[in-house]
A and B are shown apart, each in its own frame.
Chain A
Amino acid sequence: MARNRHLQAFLLIAAVAAVQLATMISDTQHYLTQLTMSGYYSLVIIGLCLLIGYAGQISLGHAGFFAIGGYTSAFLTTYDLTPVSDKAFIAFLSRTGMLVSTADLYGGQVLHLHPWAACLIAILLAIIVAYAIGGPVLKLKGHYLAMATLGFGTIVYKVVLGTEQFGAADGISEVPEFALLPGIAVSGKLSMRIMNYYIAWGLVILGVVLLSNLVHSRVGRALRSIHGAEDAANAMGVNTGRYKLNMFVISAVFAAIGGVFLTHYNGGIGPSEASIMKSVRYVAIVAIGGMANLWGALVMGFVLNFLSLRGYFGSYDDAVFGAILIIIMLFTPEGLLRRDLFSDIRSLFGSGKDLEEKV
């Protein structure tokens, strides 16, 4: 079992490297831009997959967490502190190295919070919000749960759209690059493209390994019992409420991290990232990938986002997602990549057994 998971992770690493080499050899490195972007979206999707597929809780508001991450980070790293730089607190931040000064597009200097600090605050905020709303929301079931999460997503969307500090309908632009370590930065610059591809997919690999270990642990078994029969699980002494809440928070953190990094990579964020349609797309992709199938969700998340970002669907982008949702749910509610064919292939690796018949 464990060895198989290692094998899967190893295969993923190999695939990521192979793709990069392939683009290098075929001189199609421009694909890396969309590959990087879809990597960050995949991060949201594997987190959501954990929540929908394994804990059995739908969220129609996950773009909200993505936006909380992205907007918090964008706001904190673009808000110019120069006018208040003499205040004691700001001076303290400055001394501790929490502030940096960057040049904007026109050569002016902007004194702002260090992206690392902003990133941590963004994630912390996502955790707090997820705990605060997750508690009561996850007590709900079925349509009520759908409505509550949809409501949360709508609130985040309306707040970013209505708040001037967040740029209202224009969003936030000119977000600086995120220097992870000296010499390594999340940035959309052409010269750093290969590095950013590896940063994005490195995060995805890390995320998928973490989650895959989680679902194969005791926690995972408890989760599947919740999904199967929550009352029975409760009777057996599984604290279902706590498990659900924790999964909700973890998936929110994944979405927020995706938001933070993509915002720095794109150099900005707009309200479309918080829209309900985005949340629905995330759900669609998880559904297509096979609800309780991390790897399926990852593959579909990458493929569909990549195609969409490349503009292959043209003016039918949303229509394509709508049609896919209906077709998959009508004919293969357990997802495209959960068909017998696929589990047959996977059973060759011996890992298909424990996931079967779980939606």
Chain B
Amino acid sequence: MKVAKLAVLLLAMTLMVVSPVLAKETIKIGAILAVTGPAAFLGAPEEKTLVMMVDDINKKGGIKGHALELIVKDSGASPEKALSFAKQLIEEDKVLAIIGPSTSGETMKIKGVAEEGKTILLSCAAAEVIVNPVAKYVFKTPQKDSYAVIKIFEEMKKMGISKIGVLSSNTGFGKAGKEQIEKLAPEHGITILVNEVYDKAASDLTAEVTKLKAANVQALINWSIEPAQSIVIKNARQIGFNGQIFQSHGFGNIKYVEAALPAAEGVIFPAGRLLVADTLPNSNPQKAVLEKYKKEYEQKNRGEEVSTFGGHAYDALLILTKAIEKAGSTDKEAVRNAIENLKGVVGTAGIFNFSPQDHNGLDINSFEMLTVKNGKFAVLPEPKAKKK
């Protein structure tokens, strides 16, 4: 730590000496995002968010006089393209940092490239393996899946639920959640009676929920980000499943809720606070950031609803900006060290406190348990009576 700080200081000093030359140099930032393809629901809002932020920063005179240059590459969620783009960005564009990729599969493929090229990677993908074990240059902004699972299990304990059924989609998101659920269930006294994986393009899941109902589970956890997550709720209620339904933090899109109303009423899920920004008390430290992002995004994109996924890109660029400011330089090493020492950065996902051991920086309190009430997201009221 001390050495790192010293290094930062030294670098900052050297840079101050040469700064007149460097002052106007633009900072290049790469972004590998799945703007199209099967993970477009992640990549598209991420891209829009980054473009919006970079415009904004440049209008205000850049970061300490440095203008930002954003290079977005659309990987279409293919790892081989992500890999090719990562090498391009690192070697040819000589970017300071890469934001993305959007999916865990892609991130895992280019982790080694970022390490070899000594370039900061701020992944917008959720899987825990990205930062555990820690790789020197790899960071991530979304909350850990395991926290979401623990939050759900804790809620279940309060509600007296112990027998559950798990449904997940065959995407990276679904897979990561399923693994954490399987791993953490025993220590929370939860028994998984049914565990099914369905196709991400599934259009009717009656057969799956029927299986759950037949097994007499008390609650259902669904882990996916596709439209299937609202199909699950609808089908479950249609066949008369009366247990509690839990969703993952991928449920944070009001469109899905609207599509599944009134079946979606009472669904419980963990999520960042972006979705309930307007109902947060003014004392909440995140409130200002969340409302600002929500307002700007929705203005810029003609009323398109803000999503937590775009928020991950927001956090990534925010962290990078703070680190550049803190390091006072655009040197990769200095900025990397600065990120590792960032504390109390208020982002959309939560409050980031990085350390050399923790390249995610979020704790379990970054999740809030939410529910759907009268067709809107709302914070789950604390004293929770057991549902019917």
A–B direct touch in complex (beta carbons closer than 8 A): yes
- Residue positions of A touching B, CB distance < 8 A: 30, 33-34, 37, 105-106, 158, 161-162, 164, 167-171, 173-174, 188-190, 262, 266-273, 308-311, 314-315, 317-318
Tell me whether B15 is interfacial, beta carbon within 8 Å: no
How near does chain B come to A176, taking the closest CB pair, in angstroms? 11
Please state if B106 and A317 are interface contacts (CB–CB under 8 Å): no
Please state if A33 and B87 are interface contacts (CB–CB under 8 Å): yes
Please state if B109 and A171 are interface contacts (CB–CB under 8 Å): yes
How near does chain A come to B169, taking the closest CB pair, in angstroms? 9
Q: How far is the CA of A173 from the CA of B91 in the complex (A)?
A: 22
Which residues of chain B (192-238) have a CB below 8 Å from chain A?
Answer: 197, 199
Residue of A105, A173, A189, A317 with most partner-chain B CB within 10 A = A173
Selected A-B contacts with CB under 8 Å, 11 pairs: A30-B91, A105-B115, A170-B105, A171-B79, A171-B108, A188-B87, A267-B83, A268-B83, A269-B79, A271-B105, A311-B85
Of the residues A37, A169, A272, contact of B84 by C-beta under 8 Å: A37
How near does chain A come to B201, taking the closest CB pair, in angstroms? 11
Cβ contacts B240-252/A at 8 Å (1 or 0 each): 0000000000000
How near does chain A come to B36, taking the closest CB pair, in angstroms? 5
How near does chain A come to B28, taking the closest CB pair, in angstroms? 15
Please state if A310 and B108 are interface contacts (CB–CB under 8 Å): no
Please state if A168 and B172 are interface contacts (CB–CB under 8 Å): yes
Tell me whether B127 is interfacial, beta carbon within 8 Å: yes
Stretch from B69-77, B143-151, B158-166, B278-286 at the A interface:
B69-77
Across-interface contacts of B84 in A (CB, < 8 A): 33-34, 37, 309-311
How near does chain B come to A66, taking the closest CB pair, in angstroms? 11
Known: A37-B80, A174-B108, A188-B87. 5 other contacts (CB 8 A): A162-B170, A168-B170, A168-B175, A170-B176, A311-B88
Please state if B170 and A317 are interface contacts (CB–CB under 8 Å): no
Contacts A162-B170, A168-B172, A171-B105 given: A272-B112 contact, CB under 8 Å? no
Q: How far is the CA of A318 from the CA of B34 in the complex (A)?
A: 13
How near does chain A come to B121, taking the closest CB pair, in angstroms? 13
Across-interface contacts of B127 in A (CB, < 8 A): 170
How near does chain B come to A267, taking the closest CB pair, in angstroms? 6
Across-interface contacts of B116 in A (CB, < 8 A): 189-190
Tell me whether B123 is interfacial, beta carbon within 8 Å: no
Across-interface contacts of A34 in B (CB, < 8 A): 84, 88
Please state if A169 and B174 are interface contacts (CB–CB under 8 Å): yes
Tell me whether B318 is interfacial, beta carbon within 8 Å: no
Which residues of chain B (15-74) have a CB below 8 Å from chain A?
Answer: 35-36, 73-74
Contacts A266-B109, A270-B105, A310-B88 given: A169-B170 contact, CB under 8 Å? yes
Of the residues A169, A174, A189, A266, contact of B105 by C-beta under 8 Å: A169
How near does chain B come to A279, taking the closest CB pair, in angstroms? 14
A interface: dominant SS? helix
Residue of A nearest to B108 (CB): A173
Contacts A30-B87, A189-B116, A267-B109 given: A169-B80 contact, CB under 8 Å? no
Across-interface contacts of A315 in B (CB, < 8 A): 35-36, 74
Tell me whether B81 is interfacial, beta carbon within 8 Å: yes
Q: How far is the CA of A226 from the CA of B373 in the complex (A)?
A: 67
Contacts A309-B84, A310-B88 given: A169-B74 contact, CB under 8 Å? no
Please state if A273 and B113 are interface contacts (CB–CB under 8 Å): no
Tell me whether B303 is interfacial, beta carbon within 8 Å: no
Q: How far is the CA of A270 from the CA of B172 in the complex (A)?
A: 11
Please state if A268 and B170 are interface contacts (CB–CB under 8 Å): no
Please state if B108 and A268 are interface contacts (CB–CB under 8 Å): yes
Tell me whether B104 is interfacial, beta carbon within 8 Å: yes
Tell me whether B92 is interfacial, beta carbon within 8 Å: yes
Please state if A30 and B92 are interface contacts (CB–CB under 8 Å): yes
Of the residues A158, A266, A308, contact of B79 by C-beta under 8 Å: A266
Q: How far is the CA of A190 from the CA of B86 in the complex (A)?
A: 13
Which residues of chain B (334-375) have a CB below 8 Å from chain A?
Answer: none
Residue of A nearest to B175 (CB): A168
How near does chain B come to A59, taking the closest CB pair, in angstroms? 21
Across-interface contacts of B88 in A (CB, < 8 A): 30, 33-34, 310-311
Please state if B170 and A167 are interface contacts (CB–CB under 8 Å): no
Residue of A nearest to B85 (CB): A311
Please state if A173 and B171 are interface contacts (CB–CB under 8 Å): no
Residue of B nearest to A30 (CB): B91
Of the residues A171, A174, A309, contact of B81 by C-beta under 8 Å: A309
Which residues of chain B (94-109) have a CB below 8 Å from chain A?
Answer: 103-106, 108-109
How near does chain A come to B192, taking the closest CB pair, in angstroms? 15
Of the residues A169, A262, A314, contact of B172 by C-beta under 8 Å: A169
Please state if B77 and A173 are interface contacts (CB–CB under 8 Å): no
Contacts A105-B135, A270-B79 given: A174-B175 contact, CB under 8 Å? no
Please state if A106 and B133 are interface contacts (CB–CB under 8 Å): yes
Lowest 6 CB-CB distances: which A-B pairs, in order? A170-B105, A270-B79, A272-B78, A173-B108, A169-B172, A309-B84
